[in-house]
Amino acid sequence: MSRTVSRSAREIAEFLSARIDGSPDVSISGVAGPDGARASDLIYADSLRYAERAARSAAVCVLCTAEMSLTGKTRILVENPKLAFAKVAAWLLAPAAVSSGVHPTAIIAGTARIGPEASVGPYAIVEEGATIGARAQIGAHCVIGAGARVGEACVLYPRVTLYVGVTLGDRVVVHSGTVIGSDGFGYVYGEGRQWKFPQLGSVEVADDVEIGANSTVDRGSLGVTRIAAGVKIDNLVQIAHNVTIGEHTVIAAQTGISGSSNVGHHAVIAGQVGIADGCTIEDEAVCGAQAGIPSGKTIRKGQVVWGTPARPLDKFKEQYACYGRLPDLFTRVRELEEKMKAMQGGK
């Protein structure tokens, strides 16, 4: 749960550098969707088709564009209501603390360093040489491996595990059950068996990254697995050894990225995408849900692909429409075959 801070409509408009139409003294103490909002909640409407819902809402204050007319409401006029809503929500809603202070059951090695105002929750373990930055919050039962670094104002929810030497930048959020720095899936077959290839590298996560629950990020085999600033990773995502993810890329749930693949900046990887080893997803590319990217393939900058194997969206739509007609085509072919037989005297 989050703690709310009450603000006036005027303060919110000033925060957004936006114009206000209506009473500037309306008090806002929360955010909500139009249907379940209270009078003191802020809502948004980012399309004229939602104007009626916003008008019916109990909320008094609405984030909307200038062309949307809402009689009886205080309007805060912005170009992108959804983005403005997200910014205001982060400003109004202070997240509840994951931990507070250093719990007496926490186990902290003598050479570990805990920054000012950092918190370590019940039964958490901070191993030798690890560093916890100022104002970071380490939840219950977390394990911070030897030599790992957690930057300032990071939040690790309960049962996060950082292996030896993992580095997190500042303001990184890692949700429960996630493991960062585990061995990559690297084996060499020979002499009738699988031999484990060395997994001696590390993981570097830059500032402002968020990683969802029960995800895994493997350490590099001989190098580094890198996640750049602002990347957002959903629950149940697997990132293999030596992968690099560029700035502000988003990766949805159940995606798997195989070893030594490179994903550019501002890319969008939808749910259940499978990226084989050695692939390149260039900047601003979009991989649609359940797309399969074969080994070594390159998805070009800004390209939108779908399907398995992944292909340009227009081609996928054309082929998918053909697949849908296959039963009818099969029936027609059978009928033509029967007619041909009849014309040939049943031979």
Question: For the range 37-40, what are the long-range contacts, defined as Cβ-Cβ under 8 Å and sequence gap of 24 or more?
Answer: 40/6
What interhelical angle do 9-16 and 81-92 show, nearest 10?
A: 120
Sign of CA pseudo-dihedral 21, 27, 28, 34? negative
Q: Cα–Cα distance between 254 and 262 in angstroms, integer?
A: 18
**SS3 call for 255:** coil
Q: Could you tell me what percentage of the chain is helix, strand and coil, using 3-state DSSP and rounding each to the nearest 5?
A: 15, 30, 50
Query: Is residue 109 within 8 Å of residue 128, measured between CB atoms?
Result: yes
Strands 113-114 and 131-132: parallel
Sign of CA pseudo-dihedral 292, 177, 4, 116? negative
- Encoded tokens for 120: 């370590």
Q: Cα–Cα distance between 29 and 45 in angstroms, integer?
A: 18
Q: Cα–Cα distance between 129 and 147 in angstroms, integer?
A: 5
Residue type, 245: I
Q: Cα–Cα distance between 182 and 254 in angstroms, integer?
A: 18
Task: Compute CA distances 120 → 98, 169, 257, whole Å.
Answer: 9, 18, 32
- Residues annotated as part of the active site: 241
Q: Which residues contact 239 (CB under 8 A, 6 or more apart)?
A: 215, 216, 217, 218, 225, 227, 233, 245, 257
